[in-house]
Structure 1
């Protein structure tokens, strides 16, 4: 475990260096495009290599997060946030590749590429955030490992139960933020529905994987034995709070729409409602679980 975590620490530092290098190279390429200068081939090749290494580092980071959980068997909001943002950052790496490809084609055709460059640099900002979170996670894990702090597993795998709720909270918050930002980005209406759906998939994926793993650990148990009494009470009350809250929020939004105080895109309604429900359920369940 020490070796894997130290390797992750090194990779997080390398990622920060590669991302910084990519930003500098991309800035030079952007300047060359704007001034009509020739773009040297080694710059494009280096950017591609850096993106590949960063992508592979993301995959290793996912493995490290899983290994840390299996080693310590404890819940960690930092680890949950790193896990979720890793998937988002990995998705943005794919977006970077597509945007850079579009920039290359549009540059040849003589079109403006300002919007594409904004997306690329925004994606790299998220990569920086992820690399920093990974570094902080590794530092925190190193401290626990050096102290031989192996925490005992709670009844009914409470650590996994709490981790799933934390991942749900982080996924929902980031999903809501990104959906709102996307809705105000001024993109053509015909593309928004697909983008909303894609973002939902990206943020639901880590939550779905965590939930799927939780179900996998319960595969040999009867459903009645999946929770202890407190967990069952917490989930039930959390679901009830979510039901009441979403009904009230839906009523408020309905009134605002009826009196035309606000205007919500129809393709945005369900993704936002889903993310909000996930946030309320996970948040209330986590609060009740942590309450003594």
Structure 2
């Protein structure tokens, strides 16, 4: 088993490092061309064919970065599946890979908004968000390339299979991250209520934020179905799930009631577009965090 894992890691390491380095190069290129294009677009100057071609190159870079994130997530999942213990470094790396995956959609959305506003000759405040997103993508790529290059001690920690507990933790780490990001994003809807869109901001973005969690759940389900003597949850996990569900119900009741009271005189405002996704991500965050707390207490 260990020899096979080493061989697979050796093959995965090369494309992971290469796509990571290429991603960094593409994002640096993006910064350069966008800094050149911003003055033109802000002042509504005409863009040349060359300008449009340069923007198209950003799309190629995103494809490479997407492949890099998927390779990173896959390699980390293999590690977490067989690791003797889950380290803080591996959790940070997994969070970075998931965040990088989600930032791809942020980048696309911001560029699309800027393009639409340029055509309609409107102000383009998204530029203030676009550059931090690119910097974060570079930071994610640099971090993960370093982790791949240093091997993250993946194989050396694969001494025995502790599959069930590791995947249980993995599901809730991912749920905590996706839930937290969802809550933070949705709360901005109260600040930018006039620009909030039901389809894009309250439907499409929450679905995108849930993709990593859904994929991890599917991964957990596949692993469970592959077990010969299948036990969905052990006694400790069942207790943790029960306690987490009760606490989540209490927290959910208090926060959603408070949200209703705070918006009582303006229920036709932003809250009507936000209450359901906030409810969903709040439950996901609370349930996942409490499960992690109870699990780590032993």
Hey, what does 1:59 align to over in structure 2? 67
Matches within 5 A, 1:1-292: 1-34=9-42, 39-73=47-81, 74=83, 75=86, 76-96=90-110, 98-99=112-113, 101-102=115-116, 105-106=119-120, 111-118=121-128, 120-135=130-145, 137-138=147-148, 142-145=151-154, 148-154=156-162, 157-188=164-195, 191-192=197-198, 194-219=200-225, 225-258=231-264, 265-292=271-298
Mapped to 2, the partners of 1:28 and 1:220 lie a distance apart of 53
Q: Deviations over 1:24-63 (max 9, x none)?
A: 2111112234567664533432331233123232133213
Return 5+ residue gaps in structure 1 as ranges: none
Hey, what does 2:3 align to over in structure 1? none
Mapped to 2, the partners of 1:59 and 1:103 lie a distance apart of 30
Give the length in aligned residue pairs. 282
Contact 1:12–1:131 (8 Å) recurs in 2 = yes
- Helix, strand or coil for the counterpart of 2:71? helix
Hey, what does 2:5 align to over in structure 1? none
- Range moving further from structure 2, 173-182 or 29-38: 29-38
Report the TM-score when normalising by structure 2: 0.80
The structure-2 alpha-carbon separation of the partners of 1:103 and 1:44, relative to structure 1 and needing over 3 Å to count, comes to farther
